A and B are shown apart, each in its own frame.
Chain A
Amino acid sequence: MAPDRKLDPVDFLNLDAQLGDEERLIRDTVCTFVADKVTPHIADWFEHGRFPVELAGEVAQLGLLGMHLRGYGCAGTNAVSYGLACTELEAADSGLRSFVSVQGSLAMFPIWKHGSEEQKAEWLPRMAAGEVIGCFGLTEPDHGSDPADMRTYAKRDGSDWILNGTKMWITNGSIADLAVVWAQTDEGIRGFLVPRGTPGFSAHDIEQKLSLRASVTSELVLDDVRLPADAVLPEVAGLRGPLSCLSEARFGILWGAVGAARTCYEAALEYATTRVQFGKPIGAFQLTQEKLAWMLVELGKAQLLALHLGRLKDSGGLRPQQVSFGKMNNVRIALDIARQARTILGANGVTLEYPVIRHMNNLESVLTYEGTQEIHTLVLGEAITGLSAYR
Chain B
Amino acid sequence: MNIVVCVKQVPDTWAERKLRSEDKTLDRESVDGVINELDEYAIEESLRIKEAHDGEVTVLTMGPEKAAESIRKALSMGADKAVHLVDDALHGSDVLQTSYAMAQVLRKIGFDVVILGSESTDARMGALAAMLAERLGVAQLSLANKVEIDGGTIRTQRVADYGFDRVEASLPAVVSVVEKINEPRYPSFKGIMAAKKKPVDKLGVADADIDAAKVGLTGAATEVVDFVAAPPREKGTIVKDEGDGGQKVAEFLASKKFI
Interface residues of A (CB under 8 A from B): 2, 4-5, 21-22, 25-26, 29, 32-33, 61-64, 67, 75-77, 81
Contacts of A29 in B (CB 8 A): 76, 186-187, 189, 192
Cα of A64 to Cα of B189 in the assembled complex, Å = 8
Q: Which residue from chain A places its CB closest to the CB of B183 in the assembled complex?
A: A36
Specify the chain A residue showing the minimal Cβ separation from B69. A21
A33 to chain B, nearest CB (A): 6
State the B residues within 8 Å of A (CB).
29-30, 69, 72-73, 76, 186-190, 192-193, 195-196
Given A21-B69, A22-B193, A25-B72: A2 touches B29 (CB 8 Å cut-off): yes
Q: Which of B29, B30, B73, B190 contacts A25 (CB 8 A)?
A: B73
Please report whether the interface of chain B is mostly helix, strand, loop or mixed according to DSSP: helix
Count contacts between A and B, CB distance < 8 Å: 47
Q: Which residues of B contact A77 (CB under 8 A)?
A: 189, 192-193
Chain A residues, CB < 8 A from B29: 2, 5
Q: Please give, as numbers and ranges, the residues of chain B lying within 8 Å of A62 by CB-CB distance.
A: 186, 188-189
Q: Are B186's CB and A32's CB within 8 A?
A: yes
- The interface centre, meaning the residue of B69, B72, B76, B193 with most chain A CB atoms within 10 A of its CB, is B193
By Cβ-Cβ distance, the 5 closest A-B pairs, closest first, are: A63-B189, A75-B189, A63-B188, A25-B192, A2-B29
Partner of A22, one of B30, B186, B188, B196: B196
Q: Is the CB of A5 within 8 A of B186?
A: no
Q: Quick check: B30 and A76 within 8 Å, CB to CB?
A: no
13 of the cross-chain contacts (CB-CB < 8 Å) are A5-B29, A21-B72, A22-B192, A22-B196, A25-B192, A32-B186, A63-B192, A64-B189, A75-B189, A75-B190, A77-B189, A77-B193, A81-B189
How far is the CB of A274 from the nearest CB of chain B, in Å? 13
| B-side contacts of A63, CB under 8 Å | 188-190, 192
List the B side residues contacting A26 at CB < 8 Å. 189, 192
A67–B189 Cα gap in the complex (Å)?
8
CB distance from A176 to the nearest CB of B (A): 23
Distance in angstroms from B21 CB to nearest chain A CB is 11
Q: CB-CB < 8 A to B195: which residues of A? A: 22, 25
Q: Which residue of A lies closest to B18 (CB)?
A: A4
In the complex, the chain B residue whose C-beta lies closest to that of A2 is: B29
A219, chain B: closest CB distance, angstroms: 33
Q: Which residues of B contact A81 (CB under 8 A)?
A: 189
Q: Assess whether A61 is in contact with B188, with CB atoms less than 8 Å apart.
A: yes
Report the bound CA distance from A304 to B68 in whole Å.
Answer: 27
Residues of A close to B72: CB separation below 8 A: 21, 25
Closest to B29 in A: A2
Chain A residue at smallest Cβ distance from B185: A61
In the complex, what's the smallest C-beta–C-beta distance from A17 to chain B, in angstroms? 12
Instruction: Find the residue from A22, A33, A76 having the highest chain B CB count within 10 A.
Output: A22
Contact call A25/B187, Cβ cutoff below 8 A: yes
Please report the C-alpha to C-alpha distance between residue A356 and residue B196 in the assembled complex, in whole angstroms: 38
Q: For residue B69, which residues in chain A have a CB less than 8 angstroms away from its CB?
A: 21
A67 CB contacts on chain B under 8 angstroms: 189
Contacts of B189 in A (CB 8 A): 26, 29, 62-64, 67, 75, 77, 81
Residue of B30, B188, B192, B196 near A5 (CB, 8 A) is B30
- With A and B bound together, what is the CA distance between A21 and B71 in angstroms? 11
Rounded to whole Å, the gap between the CB of A80 and the closest CB of chain B is 13
**Given the complex, which residues of B lie within 8 Å of A22, measured CB to CB?**
192-193, 195-196
Contact between B188 and A75, CB atoms less than 8 A apart: yes
A4 neighbours in B (Cβ, 8 Å) = 30
Known: A2-B29, A2-B30, A75-B193. A25 touches B188 (CB 8 A): no
Q: Please give me the residue from chain B that is nearest to A20 by CB atom.
A: B196
For B188, the chain A residues whose CB sits under 8 A away are: 61-63, 75
- A101 to B174: give the CA distance in the assembly, Å: 45
Closest CB in chain B relative to A79 CB, distance in Å: 13
- Chain A, residue nearest B73 (CB): A25
Which residues from chain B contact A5 at a C-beta distance below 8 Å? 29-30
A11 CA / B76 CA spacing, docked (Å): 25
Q: Closest CB-CB distance, B114 to chain A, in whole Å?
A: 25
> With the chains together, A2 CA to B192 CA distance in Å?
27
Give Cα A81 to B29, complex, Å: 26
> In whole angstroms, how far apart are the Cα atoms of A29 and B190 in the complex?
12
Residue of B nearest to A60 (CB): B188
The answer to whether B193 and A76 touch across the interface, beta carbons within 8 angstroms, is: yes
